[in-house]
Amino acid sequence: MTGADGTASWAEALVREHESHAVRPGREEQVLERIDRARRRRATVREEYVTMAHGAGGKATQSLIEAIFLESFRNPLLEPLEDGAVFGAGTERLALTTDSYVVSPLFFPGGNIGDLAVNGTVNDLAVCGARPLYLSAGFILEEGFPVGDLRRVVASMAVAAEVAGVQIVTGDTKVVQRGKADGCYVNTAGVGLIERPGALGVAGARPGDAVIVSGPIGEHGVTIMLARGELDIEADLISDTAPLNGLVAALLDACPEAVRCMRDATRGGVATILNEIARASGVAVVVEEDAVPVRQAVRGACELLGIDPLYVACEGRLVAVVDGAVVDTALAALRAHPLGEGAALVGRIGEDPPGLVLLKTGFGGTRIVDLLVGDPLPRIC
Amino acid sequence: MRFVDEYRDAEKARALSAKIASLCEPGRQYKFMEVCGGHTHTIYKHGLEDYLPENITLVHGPGCPVCVIPMGRVDDAIHIAERPDVIMTSFGDMMRVPGGRGSFFDSMAQGAEIRMVYSPLDALKIARQNPDRRVVFMAIGFETTAPSTAMTVLRAEAEKITNFSVFCNHVTIIPAIKAILDSPDLRLDGFIGPGHVSTVIGCGPYAFIARDYRKPLVVAGFEPLDILQSIYMLLRQLAEGRSEVENQYARVVPWEGNPRALTAVNQVMKLRPYFEWRGLGFISHSALGMRERYAVHDAERIFDIPGVRVADPKACQCGEVLKGVLKPWECKVFGTACTPETPIGTCMVSSEGACAAYYNFGRFSRERVREATR
């Protein structure tokens, strides 16, 4: 068995190494402290080129935002890195947000890039506590893109805007050469009016609070994966894309003052949102796996691919942290709304360990739910 | 969900946990190695260690397919992928594995065309659709994935698809286990045997472990109850003074394996005299290369490959972790210089890698986590 460079010698060296590493009391704590220090270090982007991981919503995206965008644009409105910025204008408080859509395929079961773009921006405003008012729409079109497809996209944007009660009041169009874009990209920005007192924010969670999701998770992400047709899996699933402003209003009406923060669980899924909350609030988020609503088809597809539904995108589900005392009222209000029928209490906020999301698994064990680096990658076996 | 939930039943887990505890001799320390990365993943994903008494330690073995790929092979693959006439194809979890000069993802960012596939047949489809390009499949994995690579080569041959080739990095599990057993003073009490590999090779090849090294081995499935039951079976063997090969995963693994799959592998591939393993160095007869007869589908023969050997980074202790000599958190760079965002070693890349699993799922002491979730 001794190989070309002497496999026996490594073994001996290793045993010596192992003995020197014999577990001493307190050593594990030292390691954890070292890791915590490393994690608190300022974000850096070491890559020389942008990779797909930088767009996946996990740690790589976070580093890119913090080390490049925040570093240059730094200001108090941007710093909290919420879904939108909230600021005063005259006597009013406004929220402003923007988002770009590059989904492939452009048309998928349950929607297309158009209604996705409207709903996404409406939702970003809604979870800031704003009533969405006006949207802009920018289009980047590839030479050769069928006008018929463009009509369909735009028509569904009009319908989505009407359903959400917003108007698309300004826009922009650019056409690029064939091959320089993938059919059609859409950017939407939106402004909304904040009519309620009080501040919502990911830093607002406190021990004793309850964590709620508004319905079954992961449907948009799995629908898109299946719609790409690379997996040869068929499932009866449609994207959950929907405007959440009505649902948010119902929640805020039912328990004003008691809602700490809301987020729509898009890229990176519920797990990413919960990590942002844990980090920003300096609390532990403890989630019960069995309490998280996941449809069978989503679970099945995720099992096959070896990915965790907690990281899969939704486009019409929100995560809300509310005062633990009002959890029943909050759930009742959400469930009374058609988009919140599947709302569930999934966890609670604790004190220790701060900054972490812990999962009580359905099997009865516990584990950490960390941010992913990039997209969840299917495992080979 | 049928065929899944029944293997994740918390009540059955509690019952098994009690039986496991009752078999443990007080004061004795037990060390079992789960050979397969899939098991490591399951253990952390479900928090399985919460069901084990303190005196049972699980040691994570070398069976994570991407973890054992040496940096030089990644560099070679990137060298091929950078050719303008090539479309490289790869399984998803290979994409982030760092070579000496970056990963597939980095190479893509600089213009290489690398596509993620779910099966080598997808790569063959891409070859069919792109007759003017040369499509290379980055083949990795143990005996589990080697048959599908072999079958794909046979199909390419039958369909005369000559623009499809395989960059073969398949490895075999037995030499790696033997290398671990031969480490002096590395005391293991038994093995949780690789389930998927055994669907192909069967249970027979493990006989020497029980016979010559007197260590019990239980071939185990990948659901958390499978693993608990395997641990129970290992303890029962120890309690009864036996060392045998047992099959817990009989619902999937036939004792004799899958002779047809083995035939296909044997037809297309042959053992290499030696192969470098990440962290473990060169191990003789531990990997598969393509046979001469299929040279037209062998990327190593078609392309001019630098074949440079890149030494593992000095600070990296992946080898020790792969052999179970070190717990992931005992590595010098664990969680500081080496993290899932900026992995130095492969164990930190794949979700099956011991370090990544430990970092993502189990970084904190069990007591602290238990306290927090009470």
Among A23, A50, A365, the residue with its CB nearest the CB of B46 is A365
Among B49, B175, B325, the residue with its CB nearest the CB of A14 is B325
Any B CB within 8 A of A208 CB:
no
Q: Mind listing the domains of chain A with CATH numbers? A: 27-69 (no CATH), 86-194 (3.30.1330.10), 202-368 (3.90.650.10)
Higher-confidence residue of A325 and B99: namely A325
CA distance B31 to chain A (A): 14
User: What's the first-to-final CA gap in chain A, in angstroms?
Assistant: 27
Inter-chain residue contact A356 with B364, CB threshold 8 Å: yes
Residue of A nearest to B224 (CA): A363
* Nearest alpha carbon to residue A332 among A223, A240, A255: A255
In chain A, what residues touch B362 (CB-CB under 8 Å)?
Answer: 367-368
CA angle (B357, B359, B364) in 5-degree steps: 115
Q: How many CB pairs under 8 A join A and B?
A: 218
In chain B, what residues touch A32 (CB-CB under 8 Å)?
Answer: 363-365
Inter-chain residue contact B109 with A365, CB threshold 8 Å: no
Inter-chain residue contact A379 with B122, CB threshold 8 Å: no
Inter-chain residue contact B282 with A4, CB threshold 8 Å: yes
Measured between alpha carbons, how far is A110 from A315 in angstroms, rounded to an integer?
A: 11
Q: What pLDDT, on a 0 to 100 scale, did the predictor assign at position A4?
A: 41
Inter-chain residue contact A380 with B323, CB threshold 8 Å: no
In chain A, what residues touch B222 (CB-CB under 8 Å)?
Answer: none
In chain A, what residues touch B13 (CB-CB under 8 Å)?
Answer: 363-364
Q: What pLDDT, on a 0 to 100 scale, did the predictor assign at position B13?
A: 95
Radius of gyration of chain B (CA): 21
At residue A230 the predicted structure's pLDDT band, cuts being 50, 70 and 90, is: confident
Any B CB within 8 A of A296 CB:
yes
Q: What pLDDT, on a 0 to 100 scale, did the predictor assign at position A37?
A: 78
Q: Three-class SS of residue A108?
A: strand
Check residue B364 and report its DSSP letter: S
* Nearest alpha carbon to residue A240 among A171, A186, A308, A318: A318
Measured between alpha carbons, how far is B298 from B290 in angstroms, rounded to an integer?
A: 6
Q: What pLDDT, on a 0 to 100 scale, did the predictor assign at position B44?
A: 87
Any B CB within 8 A of A65 CB:
no
pLDDT over 70 (residue A202): yes
Inter-chain residue contact A379 with B351, CB threshold 8 Å: yes
Q: What pLDDT, on a 0 to 100 scale, did the predictor assign at position B139?
A: 97
Inter-chain residue contact B320 with A18, CB threshold 8 Å: yes
Strand segments, DSSP code E, in B156-300 are 164-170, 190-193, 217-219, 245-247, 269-271, 274-277, 281-284, 288-290
The gap from C-alpha A227 to its chain's centroid, in whole angstroms, comes to 20
Radius of gyration of chain A (CA): 23
Inter-chain residue contact B46 with A3, CB threshold 8 Å: no
Among A10, A18, A363, the residue with its CB nearest the CB of B13 is A363
Measured between alpha carbons, how far is B45 from A263 in angstroms, rounded to an integer?
A: 25
% chain A with pLDDT above 90: 71
pLDDT over 70 (residue A263): yes
pLDDT over 90 (residue A52): no
Among A6, A14, A28, the residue with its CB nearest the CB of B365 is A28
C-alpha neighbours within 13 Å on the C-beta side of residue A364: 19
Residue of A nearest to B13 (CA): A363
Measured between alpha carbons, how far is A219 from A222 in angstroms, rounded to an integer?
A: 5
Inter-chain residue contact B46 with A373, CB threshold 8 Å: no
CA distance B233 to chain A (A): 20
Inter-chain residue contact A377 with B369, CB threshold 8 Å: no
CA distance B229 to chain A (A): 14
* Other beta carbons less than 10 A from residue A229's beta carbon: 9
Over residues A18-22, the mean pLDDT reads 43
Q: What pLDDT, on a 0 to 100 scale, did the predictor assign at position A24?
A: 43
Over residues A243-260, the mean pLDDT reads 96
Inter-chain residue contact A361 with B44, CB threshold 8 Å: no
Q: Mind listing the domains of chain B with CATH numbers? A: 71-171+287-302 (3.40.50.11740), 318-373 (no CATH)
Inter-chain residue contact A381 with B145, CB threshold 8 Å: yes
Inter-chain residue contact B341 with A373, CB threshold 8 Å: yes
Residue of A nearest to B317 (CA): A14
Measured between alpha carbons, how far is B216 from B227 in angstroms, rounded to an integer?
A: 15
Q: Three-class SS of residue B155?
A: helix
Q: What pLDDT, on a 0 to 100 scale, did the predictor assign at position A11?
A: 43
Q: Is B70 left (phi over 0), alpha (psi -120 to 50) or beta?
A: beta
Inter-chain residue contact A378 with B118, CB threshold 8 Å: yes
pLDDT over 50 (residue A1): no
How far, in Å, are A66, A75, A319, B19 from residue A80 at the CA level? 11, 9, 18, 51
Inter-chain residue contact B369 with A32, CB threshold 8 Å: no
In chain A, what residues touch B253 (CB-CB under 8 Å)?
Answer: none
Is the bond preceding A353 in cis, omega lying within 30 degrees of 0?
Answer: yes
pLDDT over 90 (residue A361): yes
At residue A73 the predicted structure's pLDDT band, cuts being 50, 70 and 90, is: very high
Inter-chain residue contact B373 with A360, CB threshold 8 Å: yes
Helix axes A219-227, A296-305, angle to 10 degrees: 60
Any B CB within 8 A of A291 CB:
no
ipTM: 0.85
Interface of A with B in 304-323 (CB under 8 A): 306, 308
Inter-chain residue contact A286 with B108, CB threshold 8 Å: no
Q: Three-class SS of residue A72?
A: helix
Among A11, A60, A373, the residue with its CB nearest the CB of B183 is A11
Residues in chain B: 374
User: What's the first-to-final CA gap in chain B, in angstroms?
Assistant: 27
* Other beta carbons less than 10 A from residue A5's beta carbon: 12
In chain B, what residues touch A7 (CB-CB under 8 Å)?
Answer: 179, 182, 280-283
* Residues lower than pLDDT 70 in chain B: 185, 351, 361-367
Any B CB within 8 A of A7 CB:
yes
Any B CB within 8 A of A256 CB:
no
How far, in Å, are A29, A195, B321 from residue A26 at the CA level? 5, 52, 21
pLDDT over 50 (residue A14): no
Inter-chain residue contact B92 with A379, CB threshold 8 Å: yes
* Strand partners for A97: A190
Higher-confidence residue of A136 and B45: namely A136
